[in-house]
Amino acid sequence: MDNVIFFDGICNVCDYTVEFVLEHDQNKVFKFSSLQSEFASNFLKEKNVEITMDTIILSYENELYFRSDAMILILKNLKGFPWFLGYCISFLPFFLRDSCYSVFSKYRYKVFGKKTICKVPNKKHLNLFLD
């Protein structure tokens, strides 16, 4: 199974995050699937994971990671400053990282807005999106 980032497809911050990863993922480590997709629904149901739009989920080397753990692993697989940022964040205590993630996630729509439909990837990256 590929390393897949499951993200909220209508969230503007999530959309920016996907674009950021696409730009910095020089080794093409990741593929993507919106949490609203049929692929995500089937894959996560098979893993007994309830889909909620308040978290990013990473399937990485056949393990699932959520919230800040997912973000750290994503960043550590990118090159340059993102790798360094992931490395630094990993030293923060889990409860602090996930608490900050949860607060940010709770207010992201209010602060950054949301779309009415999921973004369609451009042709250059179409093969990296599942479903």
- State the average pLDDT over residues 123-128: 79
Which amino acid makes up residue 65?
Y
Q: How far apart are the C-alpha atoms of 21 and 12, rounded to whole Å? A: 14
Does position 8 have pLDDT exceeding 70, yes or no?
yes
Does position 53 have pLDDT exceeding 80, yes or no?
yes
Lookup result for tokens 């990473």: 58
Which of 80-94, 99-113, 116-130 has the lowest average pLDDT? 116-130
CB-based contacts of 32, cutoff 8 Å, min separation 6: 4, 5, 6, 7, 18, 21, 121, 128, 129, 130
- State the average pLDDT over residues 117-129: 75
Which of 39-43, 78-82, 87-91, 113-117 has the lowest average pLDDT? 113-117
Give this prediction's pTM: 0.91
Does position 63 have pLDDT exceeding 90, yes or no?
yes
Q: What percent of the chain has pLDDT over 90?
A: 66
Residue 35's Cβ-count burial label (10 Å; 0-12, 13-18, 19+) is buried
Does position 117 have pLDDT exceeding 80, yes or no?
no
Cα separations in angstroms, 23 against 18, 35, 51, 108, 110: 9, 21, 27, 22, 26
